[in-house]
Amino acid sequence: MKLALRELVRKPGRFVTATVILTLIAVLLMFLGGLLDGLLRLSTGALRAQTADAIVYSDASQSSFLRSRIEPDDRAAIESADGVDEVGGLGVVLLGARVPGNGPRDLANVAVWGYELPKSGIPAPPAPGEAYADELLQADGVELGDELLVGPARTPITVTGWVSDTAYNGSGGLWTDLGTWREVLSQNRPDAVLADGVVQALVVSGPGDPADVVAAVDAANDGTYALTIDDAINEIPGVEEQSATFNQILGVTVVIALVVIALFFALLTVERTALYGVLKAIGARSRTIFGGLVVQATAVTLVASAVAAVLVVVLDLLIPPGSIPLFVSPSRIVLSVVLLLIAAVIGSAFSLRRVLRVDPASALGN
């Protein structure tokens, strides 16, 4: 191990190529992962902000807010169920909004939410005609106190506070009371008007864990079904597809890293056959020699990962907000590094057989 580290320090040139290639791969891995996280955040923020245990949709809705209808008697049945503490109405409509100071065609995409219960990071509903806006909308020039004109009917909504990470379907949220949301809906989507007391979905909290709350709700009412928040997030159209596609690309990237490491250390091992022969002759075990290879692969990967992490963080700072949905998080970077380290260990293991086969007798050859 000391031998392996000394070689790294004294002959860094020998490892530069591999380190550079791995750095590029690590950047790719962290960047694509950050992109996936960013995209997912834009689809799932509104649901992740829910502190409730479950969400209730109507049967034919396919877990889409826009297709779901909860009638007052459904709500009453669920509210009176055992295992349910608190029930709140929820609804959303996706529209374009005119922002003061922006051109008439330069609409900001907004998701106007009507809600009753405070969420994590979202206080209780503001006064009618007002909204808490998602910070995402700052990239569209929205400022505190602005009066946004929402939808073709130009329904006015005044921004009176900020919330963050509450996006839905790529649009920043405008969080209003149920009445304001219903007003916006009826003015701008005559096809989707909902009577007073009707909401798209319910958020439900109970004393038990989320699965118990789901069971309690489903037992209490027909014509609706409940999902835990986590399940509801996965049901958001596109979320699973996006994750699966990106994860396949990330998987291929990790495999490429593995192949690069395997090839590089296989070549290095061939180059060092004579040296390994001498080391074995003077008492080195194969285990020690192979351990040195793994240490070197790990060190190269750590250096590449560190450089890549810095590059990706800098990239994140350079990219103007709102242009690319890149979201760089420590957990994504750590996950990338862990995957690369696993690739490094498996990749260097391809040289194990060659190390074992090195014959100490080769040291004495003429």
Partner 1 sequence: MSTPALQMSDVRKIYSMGDNEVVALDHATLTVGTDEIVALVGPSGSGKTTLCSIAGGILSATEGSVVVGGEAISDYGDKELTTFRQNKVGFVFQSVNLVPFLNARENLLVVDELGRRQGKPARDRADRLLDELGLADRAKNLPSQLSGGQKQRVAIGRSLMNEPELVLFDEPTSSLDTELGQQVMELIRSEMKSRGTAAIVVTHDDRITEYCDRTVRITDGVLGDD
Position 365 contacts partner 1 (CB under 8 A)? yes
Asked if residue 13 binds partner 1 (CB under 8 A), the reply is no
Question: Binding partner of residue 3 among Mg ion, partner 1, none, CB under 5 to 8 Å per kind?
Answer: partner 1
Query: Kind of pairing, strands 130-134 and 155-163?
Result: parallel
105 binds partner 1 (CB under 8 A): no
Cα separation, 252 vs 244, whole angstroms? 12
User: From the CB of 364, what's the least distance to partner 1, in Å?
Assistant: 5
Which helix (H) or strand (E) segment holds residue 124: the answer is none
Rule CB under 8 A: choose which of 48, 69, 75, 280 binds partner 1.
280
> Which of partner 1, Mg ion, none lies near 154, with the C-beta cut-off 5 to 8 A by kind?
none
Least distance CB 360 / Mg ion (angstroms):
15
Determine the Cα–Cα distance for residues 57 and 246; give it in Å rounded to an integer: 29
Pick one of 227, 278, 304, 329: the residue that binds partner 1 (CB under 8 A). Answer: 278
CB atoms within 10 A of CB 147: 14
**Coil/strand/helix, residue 224:** strand
Strand (E) or helix (H) holding 116: none
Amino acid at 91: G
Which of partner 1, Mg ion, none interacts with 177 (beta carbon under 5 to 8 A by kind)? none
- Cβ of residue 362: shortest distance to Mg ion, in angstroms? 13
CB of 330 closer than 8 Å to CB of 314: no
* By the rule CB under 8 A, 315 interacts with partner 1: no
When asked if residue 366 is in the footprint of Mg ion (CB under 5 A), the reply is yes
**CB of residue 265 to partner 1, shortest distance in Å:** 17
Instruction: Give the C-alpha separation, 64 to 157, whole Å.
Output: 24
Please tell me whether residue 274 binds partner 1 under the rule CB under 8 A. Answer: yes
Q: Is 323 in the site for Mg ion (CB under 5 A)?
A: no
Closest distance between partner 1 and the C-beta of residue 267, in Å? 17
Nearest Cα to 165, choosing from 64, 66, 40?
40
Q: Of 143 and 359, which has the nearer Cβ to partner 1? A: 359
> What are the CA-CA distances from residue 24 to residues 27, 88, 309, 324 (Å)?
5, 48, 11, 20
Piece of the chain touching partner 1 by CB under 8 A; list 155-163, 199-207, 296-304, 356-364: 356-364
**The residue to which tokens 């049901």 are assigned:** 235
The DSSP symbol for 225 reads E
Cα separation, 208 vs 236, whole angstroms: 25
Indicate the length of the chain as a whole number: 366
Give the residue closest to Mg ion by C-beta: 366
- Shortest distance (Å) from residue 366 CB to Mg ion: 4
Residue 278: which of partner 1, Mg ion, none does it interact with, CB under 5 to 8 A by kind?
A: partner 1
Q: How many CB atoms lie within 10 A of CB 101?
A: 10
* Residue 267, number of CB atoms within 10 A of its CB: 12
Q: Which stretch binds partner 1 (CB under 8 A): 2-10, 298-306, 313-321, 327-335?
A: 2-10
Our finding on whether 360 is near partner 1 (CB under 8 A) is: yes
Per-residue CA distances from 193 to 101, 167, 198, 235 (Å): 31, 23, 10, 24
Find the farthest-apart pair of alpha carbons in the chain and give their distance in angstroms, rounded: 96
331 binds, among partner 1, Mg ion, none (CB under 5 to 8 A by kind): none
Nearest CA-CA partner of 98 in 148, 140, 146: 148
Residue 259 binds partner 1 (CB under 8 A): no
**Residue among 24, 66, 266, 275 that touches partner 1 (CB under 8 A):** 275
Span interacting with Mg ion, options 14-22, 91-99, 126-134, 358-366, rule CB under 5 A: 358-366
Could you tell me the two tokens for 172?
A: 């920043």
Q: What single-letter DSSP state applies at residue 107? A: P
Is residue 186 a contact residue for partner 1 (CB under 8 A)? Answer: no
- Residues engaged in binding partner 1 (CB under 8 A): 2-3, 6-7, 10-11, 274-275, 278-285, 288, 360-361, 363-366
The footprint of Mg ion (CB under 5 A) covers 366
